[in-house]
Amino acid sequence: MRRIILSHMENQRFLEQELAMWKHICHVAPIGFLYVDRENHLIRCNPKACQLLDIQQCQHIPPRLLLELVRSYELDQLIEQTRKVGQHCEREWIFHPVSAEQAILSQQQPRPMRGYGLPLADGAVGVFLENRQEATLLAQQRDRWTSDVAHELKTPLTSIRLVAETLQTRLEPPLRTWVDRLLHETIRLSGLVQDLLDLSHLQASPTARLTKQPVDLVKLIQSAWQSLEPLARKKNLQLHYSGPSSLVILADEPRLHRVLLNVFDNSIKYSSPEQEIRVCMGLTANTTSTTQQVHLEVIDAGPGFPESALPHVFERFYQADPSRTRSGYELGMARQPDSSPPSSSEPAALMNSSCGLGLAIVRQIVEAHQGSVTAGNHPATGGAWLQIFLPWKPSEAVSLESVT
């Protein structure tokens, strides 16, 4: 019996040491931590969390409603979502400190935050908080530098293109092939520069650069597909559309046309020959309000996105598989003398090899329309599955007659 008691005491001492160690780690950790019970009372938080959330007293706080200490709708939503789904959840937002003292409020600056919610026993939730201020500043500096470089490259590329077009009509056929190649690469680089400038303009003032008017999405889908039909015809790909015969929203038509071009170009590029690309469209309930929204799905017949790439597909210059997205020119592979470069009259997508900007532009334009876009792999086909959500009002509708 004495041996059992000693063993029990030893185990208890070990557990107490473990608990003290983890408490110390949590206390000195460079990221914030909150422990919230099932009634949303804040039971425990470390000094870093108090600093990030501007909680004035972080030590020996009696259990209080989190709402009394921190006014953050996004943090509340993260906790509720984690509790509801019962698994790890992640959310990013801009935290705006709110204090009862106006003097303190005027000195506090909004800061970007990232929260990780972890479900615990009895409905409790643990939240790790990360300050994203430095990462945001670095991203802004990178984007500003990229935009500056694009501005500097635009004029010389235009000059090179003009010279190449002039030489194209004055050289003998054996030499014209090299000028054709130069012109092809110049057009591709000019397209890349224009994409960078478009992204920079959209990020600087997302809504100010939109010219909204009634747009029939069904006709826009047909128009975008027709623009890329030469690409689809090479692989004998078909477009299968299901949805209303007409659906009108208030949007910037050229921008949305660009969205569809980029999405279809990706789908055509990675779909296997003799397949079909599915486009489904309809209205669905908005999860954040009582209104409805347009739900547009594009499902290709390709291998889908690698799981590791899904969180990054909308980032600038991100390529899940660079070897699949570079043409022979980009790899330094010379053409045979008897082969002809692509004609400048071909669709823009033919002239521009993938550079990891297409889906970044898609996200920027969709978000400028107060919408959202997600990427995944379709559970039935395994192909890439892009879902675009756009705001819609009944007054914008013309017809919702379903077609098959």
Please name each of the domains of the chain with its CATH number.
21-131 (3.30.450.20), 133-204 (1.10.287.130), 210-334+350-404 (3.30.565.10)
Residue 260, token pair as written in the block: 């569809």
- In order of 115, 261, 291, 393, 394, the CA distances from 287 in angstroms are 21, 27, 9, 15, 17
**Mean pLDDT to the nearest integer, 268-279:** 94
Distance CA 349, CA 221 (A): 16
Cα angle value 45/50/52 (rounded, 5°): 120
Distance CA 300, CA 275 (A): 9
Helix spans in 32-72 (H): 47-53, 66-69
Which amino acid makes up residue 162?
A: L
**Mean pLDDT to the nearest integer, 361-385:** 92
350 compared with 155, residue with greater pLDDT: 155
- pLDDT tens, residue by residue, 94-138: 998 875 444 455 456 788 999 999 999 999 999 999 999 888 888
Contacts 24+ apart (CB under 8 A), 307-311: 310/375, 310/376, 310/377
| pLDDT, position 397 | 56
Residue 66 · residue 127 · CB < 8 Å: no
- The pTM of this model reads 0.64
**Mean pLDDT to the nearest integer, 299-319:** 86
Whose CA is closest to 357, among 224, 147, 195? 195
| pLDDT, position 347 | 43
Lowest-confidence region among 3-12, 67-76, 272-281, 384-393:
3-12
Q: Please, what is the angle between helix 173-204 and helix 133-168, to 10°?
A: 150
**Mean pLDDT to the nearest integer, 369-397:** 89
Q: Name residues whose C-beta falls within 8 Å of residue 13's C-beta, 6 or more positions apart in sequence.
A: none
**Mean pLDDT to the nearest integer, 283-302:** 86
**Which residues sit opposite 372 in a β-bridge?**
389
- What value does the mean pLDDT of the chain take? 83
Distance CA 221, CA 226 (A): 9
Q: Is pLDDT at 35 greater than 90 in this prediction? A: yes
| pLDDT, position 355 | 61
Residue 323 · residue 331 · CB < 8 Å: no
End-to-end alpha-carbon separation of the chain, Å? 79
DSSP secondary structure letter of residue 320: S
Residue 103, token pair as written in the block: 């003097």
DSSP secondary structure letter of residue 287: T
122: left (phi over 0), alpha (psi -120 to 50) or beta: left
| pLDDT, position 329 | 32
Q: Name residues whose C-beta falls within 8 Å of residue 111's C-beta, 6 or more positions apart in sequence.
A: 52, 94, 95, 97, 131, 132, 133
Cβ-based burial of 122 (10 A; exposed 0-12, middle 13-18, buried ≥19): exposed
Lowest-confidence region among 4-8, 88-92, 154-158, 309-313:
4-8
CA atoms within 13 A on the CB side of 313: 21
**Mean pLDDT to the nearest integer, 71-83:** 92
333 compared with 179, residue with greater pLDDT: 179
| pLDDT, position 12 | 87
Distance CA 279, CA 377 (A): 14
Cα angle value 133/137/140 (rounded, 5°): 140
Radius of gyration of the chain (CA): 27
Cβ-based burial of 34 (10 A; exposed 0-12, middle 13-18, buried ≥19): buried
| pLDDT, position 289 | 64
DSSP letters for 4-21: HHHHHHHHHHHHHHHHHH
| pLDDT, position 42 | 92
58 band by pLDDT with thresholds 50, 70 and 90: low
DSSP secondary structure letter of residue 357: -
Residue 47 · residue 27 · CB < 8 Å: yes
**Mean pLDDT to the nearest integer, 246-255:** 94
